[in-house]
Amino acid sequence: MGVFEYVMTTITVEANNLTRIYGGREAVSDVSFELKKGEVLGFLGPNGAGKSTTMKMLTGNLAPSKGSVKICGIDMIETPREAKALIGYLPEMRPLYKEFTVEEFLTIAARLHRVSPKSIGKAVKNAMERCGLSHMSKRLIENLSNGYQQRVGIAQAIIHSPMVVILDEPTVGLDPAQIIDIRDLIKEIGMDHSVIFSTHILPEVEMVCNHVQIISQGKLVYNSSIEDLKHYRQGNKLIVGMLRPPSKDELLKVDGITDVEMIQNGLIRLKYTPEKMPSEDIVRISVEKGWGLYQINPDQTSLEDVFVQLTQ
Amino acid sequence: MILNIARKELKSLFASPMGWVILALLQFAFGTYYLNGVNQYFDVMSGAIRPAERTGVTQFVGQSVFGLASFIMLFAVPLLSMRLISEERRSQTLPFLFSAPLSISEIVVGKFLGLVSFLSILVVLIAAMLSTLDIWSDVDFGYIFSNVMGLWLLVASFSALGLYFSSLTAQPVIAAIFSFIALFALLILDRFFAGDPSSVLSYISLMRHFQPFGSGLIDTADIAYFVLFITTFLTLTIRRLDADRLRG
């Protein structure tokens, strides 16, 4: 294995049995996971499941009752200063000093994150450009709209180009165009760093992440790559629509089909064996026998359904 | 890093009119007392016939200015210190500092230094004002130095206590009221125990340790008292913030 490959597989975040007890109740219990360089991790879960608490522990804002956090191999509890230097964090309530202008605030953020004095100007300019704030640099944060304040929050998290960026619901309060911008930004940061972000918008996870975790009642109930999630959703099913649908038996004769289910509006759900995808055969036979095929789609369980299934 | 926090605090004091207004108002008050002191000096001294009744101009003017300063700071410091941590708590900006590569001690000491350097501007201005007496008279710089040092230590102690009370609550006004009450109590403590100067409670009084500076006496015991006072409250503040991280 070459050095290059070694760098590619470097683990940036390592959480071991993270547990946080609030008044006897476990708000987060035994959460363990790893994140590699270049991965974007989507963090999902219902309200109060422990997403924000976990993120607070990852960033050293809250001491875990049990377990440990390592950032690029550096322990957050033993050497918090070194570990925190590698993290950029945007909490749920964005921490902005509203009496400053955007530029002043970002300069302070850069300074506190130990950006060398010479490169502060460059870092501030770069962060503003990436978050689309350049034309707002001289405005007081107080006077910015909700969406722009959110951008300032993201800018302060990436200003020191940290190894790990942790964003707690970064797209809340943004308009659709801004959301697209921010998603692109997250993807871009994810190229050479690691990103963990939480959200309630489920499709966003599929668009941006290559790893998904679902947390429910403090426990990690799902932790897998995005391909697995897609696979989980598809489950070898097709939805077909026909003007003159044949009988169930006739459909079962098609090679590969194992089950037929009539659903509303003349649509039919077909289950098939994973080895044999029957779509081509269905189209051919439909034409031969004049079934009047007008629609054929893979049947996906909606993300919402997956989410509800997993969190119940 | 401590200096960066201090810089940020100083900047935020000057970002609102509050900082400027307080500086201007206090300087106006000190200036007025200074002027009155100078004007009255000749009236009073021309009436004092015996040499024992005569005091130097430095002491005469200095007494009134420094007396006023220590009294006014009792109100001004809680007003300035109240926001230091409670405002951050209220607007939820503490995570910004906590997730930066800083220790809690650095944050607390930085905030303390930020406020003290703001107040030092006033102390320095007072010293500069009194030094102008040197233009037409012979100023006792030793007396000014000891007074400035006393005032500075007093103000720093006020700030440390104010910072601690600010860390206890999310309401700046409550922080201000409590630090004012605590400071006032500590200042007048020795009055209650005037009959028994050796009592421990009387020894705790801030005023008791400030007065020697006022008469031009620098005692290391008093300096040690102020340093201990400041260290105690800064440590308490650090512990209070650390508890936030531990208890959440």
Which pLDDT belongs to residue B248? 64
Within 60-99 of B, beta carbons closer than 8 Å to A belong to 91-99
How many CA atoms lie less than 13 Å away from A4 in the CB half-sphere?
0
Cβ(A216)–Cβ(A188) under 8 Å? no
Query: Are the C-beta atoms of B119 and B80 separated by less than 8 Å?
Result: yes
Select the more confidently predicted residue: A62 or B189: A62
Question: Residue A3 above 80 pLDDT?
Answer: no
Q: Determine which helix (DSSP H) or strand (DSSP E) holds B90, and give its type and residue range.
A: helix B83-90
Is the pLDDT at A2 greater than 50, yes or no? no
CATH dotted code for A235-302: 3.30.70.260
pLDDT over 90 (residue B28):
yes
The residue count of chain A comes to: 312
> CB A61 to CB B98 under 8 A?
yes
pLDDT at B119 over 80: yes
Say how far apart CA B99 and CA A58 lie, in whole Å.
10
**What pLDDT, on the 0 to 100 scale, is given for residue A9?**
57
Residue partners of B162: CB distance under 8 A and separation at least 6: B77, B78, B80, B81, B82, B84, B115, B175, B176, B179, B183
Nearest C-alpha neighbor of A89 from the set B99, B245, B107: B99
> Using CB atoms, which residue from B11, B93, B101 is nearest to A84?
B101
**Confidence (pTM):** 0.86
Asked if pLDDT for residue A5 goes beyond 70, the answer is: no
Question: Does residue A209 register a pLDDT over 70?
Answer: yes
In chain A, what residues touch B94 (CB-CB under 8 Å)?
95
**Residue A294 forms contact with B (CB below 8 Å):** no
* CATH homologous superfamily of A3-231: P-loop containing nucleotide triphosphate hydrolases (3.40.50.300)
The reply to whether residue A95 touches residue B4, judged by beta carbons under 8 angstroms, is no
Which chain B residue lies closest to A58 (C-alpha atoms)? B99
Burial of A299 (0-12, 13-18, 19+ CB in 10 A): middle
Side-chain half-sphere of A87: how many Cα atoms within 13 Å?
Answer: 37
Q: What percent of chain B has pLDDT over 70?
A: 98
Rounded to the nearest integer, the mean pLDDT of chain B is 89
In chain A, which segments carry CATH 3.30.70.260?
Answer: 235-302
CA distances from B25 to A216, B29, B30, B64, B70 (A): 57, 6, 9, 17, 15
Share of chain A above pLDDT 90, in %: 23
pLDDT exceeds cutoff 70 at A227: yes
Give the tens place of pLDDT for each residue, A64-110.
Answer: 999 999 998 889 888 888 899 999 999 988 999 999 999 999 999 99
Question: Once rounded to an integer, what is the mean pLDDT over residues B91-109?
Answer: 92
User: Residues A57, A31: contact at Cβ < 8 Å?
Assistant: no
Other Cβ atoms closer than 10 A to B232:
14
A28-32, A135-139, B49-53, B144-148: range with lowest mean pLDDT:
B49-53
User: Which candidate in A74, A108, A112 is best for mutational testing of the B interface (most B CBs within 10 A)?
Assistant: A112
What are the residue ranges of helices labelled H in chain A?
A: 3-8, 51-58, 80-84, 102-112, 120-130, 146-158, 176-192, 202-208, 226-234, 248-252, 279-289, 303-311
Highest mean pLDDT, choosing among A49-53, A102-106, A238-242, B140-144: A102-106
Average pLDDT over residues A202-221: 85
The confidence score (pLDDT) of residue A256 equals 78
A138 touches chain B (CB under 8 A): no
Angle between helix axes B104-131 and B17-47 (nearest 10 degrees) is: 40
* Contact B17/A at CB under 8 A: no
Tell me what the mean pLDDT of segment B213-219 comes to: 88
Task: Report, as an integer, the average pLDDT of A1-14.
Answer: 61
Question: How confident is the model at residue A6, as a pLDDT?
Answer: 46
Q: What is the pLDDT of residues A250-295, one digit of tens each?
A: 878 777 788 888 877 778 888 887 777 778 888 888 888 888 888 8
Closest C-alpha among A13, A81, A116 to residue B100: A81
Nearest alpha-carbon partner for A31 in A175, A231, A220 = A220
- Residues of B whose CB is below 8 A from A81: 101-103
